[in-house]
Amino acid sequence: MSSLFPTYARWEVEPVKAEGSYLIDKKDKKYLDFTSGIGVCNLGHQPETVKEAVQQQLELYWHVSNLFPQIIQEEAAKILADTTGLDRVFFANSGAEANEGAIKLARKATGRTKIITFEKSFHGRTFATMAATGQDKIKEGYGNMLETFVYVPFNDIPALEKEMSTDVAAVMLEVIQGEGGIHVAAEDFLLEVQKLCKKHGSLFIIDEIQTGIGRTGKPFAFQHFNLHPDIVTVAKGLGSGLPIGAVVGSEKLGSYFGPGSHGSTFGGNPISISAAIATMDTIFVDEFLQTVVKNGEYLKELLQNGLKNVPIVKDIRGLGLMVGVELDIPVGGLLKDLREEGLLSLPAGEKVLRLLPPLNATKEQMNEAVHIIQKVMEKSYITA
Ligand code: PLP
């Protein structure tokens, strides 16, 4: 019997090694990994530049605590600040912890408590971020939620207008709702959120935990639009697999996170920070990001052509290399069939197949993935 809490319905694949876009399991079966550890290993498994940076830091020091100034944290913070157009960074260990920090900062800086989030959103599993999440299934059995949050339908400007007032501390959203089903925010909606936040003195928080670090072909997904958020939260891809999260905020918020106001023993751990610097140095490069855009279009086109005669496919959408294929059946069985054929992929919501390939996956690997999806769908999901 397992000694672990059964919080995860684990797959039948037990990994023993992973390199680049591939993973090898205990039975020596090789899989093409289009999960990237759920949007974390954006440079594939064990990227050389990140490995070298981590190895170098391992030889210097592993952990000293945030009692000490650490130049390596300053370096990582500067890259995040410069890239987002913001000014201040707090390092945490995960996405939920980054969002938790953003929620605290917004409440403290505005002196208000109401925060608007969206239906089908996902912001984490801590008490505040679970409450922020617009999905009932995440909250089942945990009793009363934090009353700070109000949920509005995504992309619905009139519904948002109704809830906006000078009582609102912040509006928090994902530019593409990842866990909720790859729902892309409309440009006019995003611009209206920004306008309404300005009008009411509310902060605009963008959760870039799944969409950030190059996933959509820009360093951060909000940069596809003319947006200037007050707070951006980052995690997942930031450390290429080493745990790290960050709250990135504007200068005007700086004084609200003064000494003793917030903290984390492991936040800004130098090993994770070294991974983050190497990751960002590799991804935040125009040529690299342009390839993500091109390959994202290539992948979507392959899917559109390959699956056009599959009746269960309702829609193919996404940005860059964050792609969803909406089905009219639950996706669980398909994911298992794809694994049997050697492709690892993810669900998003109940009926969406989510593909998050490494950002440096080759066109051949995308051909391979779509070939498997097409083969499996045609074999099992088209009734003659
Ligand atoms: N926010 C978004 C948009 C996410 O996709 C996730 C994780 O899937 C989180 C927050 C929570 O991140 P973590 O699991 O690192 O706490």
pLDDT in tens, 200-258: 999 999 999 999 999 999 999 999 999 999 999 999 999 999 999 999 999 999 999 99
Helices (H), 90-207: 95-110, 127-132, 157-163, 187-200
Q: How far is the CA of 234 from the centre of ligand 1 (A)?
A: 9
**C-beta of 37 in contact with ligand 1 (< 6 A):** no
The residue with tokens 């002196």 is 111
Q: Among 163, 158, 274, 287, which Cα is nearest to 217's?
A: 287
Neighbour-count burial of 272, counting CB atoms closer than 10 A to its CB (0-12 exposed, 13-18 middle, 19+ buried): buried
Confidence band (pLDDT; 50, 70, 90) for 184? very high
Query: What CATH class does 286-350+371-384 carry?
Result: alpha beta
C-alpha dist (Å) from residue 233 to 170, 175, 314? 14, 12, 32
Q: How far is the CA of 135 from the centre of ligand 1 (A)?
A: 14
Task: For 31-77, write each residue's pLDDT tens digit.
Answer: 999 999 999 999 999 999 999 999 999 999 999 999 999 999 999 99
Cβ within 8 Å of residue 64, ≥6 positions away: 70, 270
Percent above pLDDT 70 for the chain: 99
Average pLDDT of the segment spanning 120-148: 97
Nearest ligand 1 atom, CA 126: 16
62-71 burial code (b ≥16 CB/10 A, e <16): eeeeeeeebe
**C-beta of 183 in contact with ligand 1 (< 6 A):** no
Confidence band (pLDDT; 50, 70, 90) for 380? confident
Is 319's pLDDT higher than 50?
A: yes
Task: For 100-123, write each residue's pLDDT tens digit.
Answer: 999 999 999 999 999 999 999 999
Instruction: Please report how many Cα atoms fall inside a 13 Å half-sphere around the Cα of residue 143, on the Cβ side.
Output: 1
Q: Among 381, 375, 382, 327, which Cα is nearest to 354's?
A: 327
Contact 199/344 with Cβ under 8 angstroms? no
**pLDDT at 384 (0 to 100):** 46
Q: How far is the CA of 352 from the centre of ligand 1 (A)?
A: 18
Is 383's pLDDT higher than 60?
A: no
Q: How far apart are the first and last CA of the chain?
A: 43
Tell me the C-alpha distance between 323 and 34, whole Å.
Answer: 11
Q: Angle of helix 270-283 relative to helix 71-84, nearest 10 degrees?
A: 40
Confidence band (pLDDT; 50, 70, 90) for 381? confident
Is 173's pLDDT higher than 90?
A: yes
Q: How far is the CA of 40 from the centre of ligand 1 (A)?
A: 10
Q: Choose which CATH entry (3.90.650.10, 3.40.640.10, 3.40.50.360, 2.40.50.140) describes domain 48-283.
A: 3.40.640.10
Length of the chain measured in residues: 384
Contact 351/18 with Cβ under 8 angstroms? no
How far is CA 197 from its chain centroid? 23
**C-beta of 208 in contact with ligand 1 (< 6 A):** no
C-alpha dist (Å) from residue 207 to 155, 221, 275? 16, 10, 21
The DSSP code for 342 is T
Q: Which sign, positive or negative, has the C-alpha torsion 272, 285, 74, 244?
A: negative
What average pLDDT does the chain have? Answer: 97
- Rounded-to-5 percentages of helix, strand, coil across the chain: 40, 20, 40
State the span(s) of the chain assigned CATH 3.90.1150.10.
286-350+371-384
State the span(s) of the chain assigned CATH 3.40.640.10.
48-283
**C-beta of 94 in contact with ligand 1 (< 6 A):** yes
126, 127, 173, 210: which to mutate for ligand 1, most atoms within 8 A of CB?
Answer: 210
Q: How far is the CA of 95 from the centre of ligand 1 (A)?
A: 5
Tell me the C-alpha distance between 376 and 365, whole Å.
Answer: 17
Task: For 266-305, write each residue's pLDDT tens digit.
Answer: 999 999 999 999 999 999 999 999 999 999 999 999 999 9
**C-beta of 100 in contact with ligand 1 (< 6 A):** no
